[in-house]
């Protein structure tokens, strides 16, 4: 059995965890999982402020590591390796996490394992459910949206991605448009419970095109147009806001469910003899109840098992980094300890995929 300390600081959660397990067998044991969120620090700004996030990481990382070791009832002498997120993410937070890991390594002599944050999400179903390779998955979060075939550590085939906004980003922007506060995802979901999703005719972008790529910028713009029309017509009521949230959430669900159906078909075409398979869903937006229900129904209809991590492992955490580090360590993949704000997780070429002004996004 291998024991790994994981450190995560890519965005606005400062996290450390200790995980123990056998990479060959899959499924690990989470000995501790400490997360300090920064919601109160960023709420007044309606989003994450990189400089504030980096400072908070620098102040909390040593505390998170010490607490994780204490809760796991282990010391560094009991640990086999230290895993740390090196990207993608905010550069200040990545630098803080890497510096913390390097200091611990210098003092203890433990090897370091560089982990792609997205691979942490992608391998979480292995940690929690022992899902066997290969498996298709939807990785859906505030900064990313990916359809992948996960074949092993460092072996991920991208079969779809967002060409603009990520779903979680769209949730946050819609919440801001409607003055619901931050974080946007939970606020929109709460308000949508009392709304009528059929009242406003919102688009389902790219559903008329083949493939698994998605787009949410136009959907977000459609919400803004409806909001502006309501305001111009005399103002928005609480009922208007609830209906608009419900409509936006339903459109997002329909797009992701529809594209997931295509991802499942692609997986079956590539692995016709795979037999019963799990369809993994991970990332912060995987906590959305409406999306979960839609994907569970789809998986059942298509002969897959929908595999969701526990809610506390959907958002950023150290346990997923520790487990990804454990699998990479077992495979001899230690990686390069250089912070990478843009760090594609897929091994297939990015030809024809939107890469952004600063390089590859996913």
Count of structural domains within the chain: 2
Q: Where are the beta strands (DSSP E) in 142-295?
A: 145-152, 155-161, 277-282
Residue 346 lies in a domain: no
154 and 303 inside one domain = yes
Angle at 252 between CA 249 and CA 253, to 5 degrees: 85
- Of 138, 119, 14, 27, the residue nearest 346 (C-alpha): 119
The Cα 163–Cα 159 span in angstroms is 13
> In degrees rounded to 5, what are phi and psi of residue 338?
-120, 125
185 and 247 inside one domain = yes
Residue 23 lies in a domain: yes
Residue 338 lies in a domain: no
361 CB neighbour count, 10 Å cutoff: 21
- CB-based contact 156:346 (threshold 8 Å): yes
Per-residue model confidence as pLDDT tens digits over 257-292: 999 999 999 999 999 988 778 999 999 899 999 999
154 and 298 inside one domain = yes
- CB-based contact 359:343 (threshold 8 Å): no
Predicted local distance difference test score (pLDDT) of residue 357:
44
148 and 89 inside one domain = no
The CATH number of the domain holding residue 32 is 3.30.420.40
Residue 335 lies in a domain: no
41 and 150 inside one domain = no
- CB-based contact 286:145 (threshold 8 Å): no
3-state helix, strand, coil in the chain (%, to 5): 45, 20, 35
Sheet of 81-87, strand order: 28-37, 13-21, 2-8, 81-87, 112-116
Per-residue model confidence as pLDDT tens digits over 102-156: 999 999 999 999 999 999 999 999 999 999 999 999 999 888 899 999 999 999 9
| pTM of the predicted model as reported, rounded to 2 decimal places | 0.91
272 and 126 inside one domain = no
pLDDT mean for each 10 residues of the chain (362 residues)? 97 96 93 92 83 93 98 98 97 97 97 97 96 95 91 95 93 95 91 97 95 95 97 95 98 98 96 89 93 96 94 93 98 95 82 44 51
Predicted local distance difference test score (pLDDT) of residue 282:
93
Q: Supply 287's token pair.
A: 């906590």
Residue 206 lies in a domain: yes
Q: Which domain holds residue 31?
A: 2-131+311-330
Q: Where are the beta strands (DSSP E) in the chain?
A: 2-8, 13-21, 28-37, 81-87, 112-116, 135-140, 145-152, 155-161, 277-282, 304-307
The Cα 91–Cα 42 span in angstroms is 17
97 and 17 inside one domain = yes
266 and 154 inside one domain = yes
297 CB neighbour count, 10 Å cutoff: 12
Q: What are the angstrom distances between the C-alpha of 19 and each of 50, 163, 170?
A: 29, 35, 33
Predicted local distance difference test score (pLDDT) of residue 91:
96
206 and 264 inside one domain = yes
Residue 342 lies in a domain: no
98 and 235 inside one domain = no
Residue 188 lies in a domain: yes
Predicted local distance difference test score (pLDDT) of residue 353:
43
153 and 240 inside one domain = yes
Q: What are the angstrom distances between the C-alpha of 143 and each of 137, 229, 285, 339, 361?
A: 16, 29, 10, 17, 9
Predicted local distance difference test score (pLDDT) of residue 6:
98
Q: Supply 52's token pair.
A: 């504030």
Q: What are the angstrom distances between the C-alpha of 283 and each of 103, 157, 159, 314, 331?
A: 29, 17, 17, 5, 24
Residues linked to residue 282 through DSSP beta bridges, in sequence order: 139
Q: ω into residue 288 within 30 of 0, thus cis?
A: no
The Cα 312–Cα 287 span in angstroms is 9
Q: What are the angstrom distances between the C-alpha of 236 and each of 27, 96, 183, 239, 242?
A: 49, 44, 21, 8, 10
Burial of 310 (0-12, 13-18, 19+ CB in 10 A): exposed
Residue 345 lies in a domain: no
11 and 95 inside one domain = yes
């Amino acid at each position: 059995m291998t024991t790994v300390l994981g450190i995560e600081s890519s965005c606005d959660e400062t996290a450390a965890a200790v995980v123990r397990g056998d990479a060959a067998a899959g499924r690990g044991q989470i000995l501790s999982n400490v997360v300090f969120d920064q919601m109160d620090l960023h709420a007044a700004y309606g989003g994450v402020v990189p400089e504030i996030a980096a400072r908070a990481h620098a102040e909390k990382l040593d505390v998170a590591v010490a607490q994780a070791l204490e809760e796991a009832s282990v010391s560094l002498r009991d640990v086999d390796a230290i895993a740390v997120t090196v990207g993608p993410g905010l550069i200040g937070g990545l630098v803080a996490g890497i510096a913390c890991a390097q200091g611990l390594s210098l003092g203890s002599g433990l090897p370091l394992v560089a982990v792609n944050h997205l691979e942490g999400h992608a391998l979480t179903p292995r940690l929690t459910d022992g899902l066997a390779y290969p498996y298709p998955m939807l990785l859906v979060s505030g900064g990313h949206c990916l359809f992948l075939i996960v074949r092993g550590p460092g072996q991920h085939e991208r079969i779809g991605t967002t060409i603009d906004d990520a779903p979680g980003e769209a949730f946050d922007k819609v919440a801001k448009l409607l003055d619901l506060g931050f974080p946007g995802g939970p606020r929109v979901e709460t308000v949508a419970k009392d709304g009528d999703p059929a009242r406003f005719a919102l688009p389902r972008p790219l559903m008329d095109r083949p493939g698994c790529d998605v787009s949410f910028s136009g959907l977000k713009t459609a919400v803004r147009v409806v909001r502006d029309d309501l305001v111009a017509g005399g103002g928005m009521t609480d009922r208007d806001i609830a209906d608009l949230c419900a409509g936006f959430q339903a459109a997002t669900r329909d797009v992701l469910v529809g594209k997931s159906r295509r991802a499942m078909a692609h997986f079956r075409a590539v692995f016709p003899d795979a037999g019963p398979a799990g369809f993994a869903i991970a990332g912060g937006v995987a906590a959305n109840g409406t999306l979960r229900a839609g994907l569970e129904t789809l998986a059942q209809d298509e002969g897959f098992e929908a595999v969701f991590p526990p809610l506390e492992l959907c958002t950023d955490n150290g346990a997923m980094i520790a487990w990804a580090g454990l699998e990479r360590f077992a495979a001899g993949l230690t990686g390069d300890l250089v912070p990478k704000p843009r760090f594609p997780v897929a091994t297939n070429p990015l030809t024809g995929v939107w890469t952004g002004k600063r390089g590859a996004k996913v």
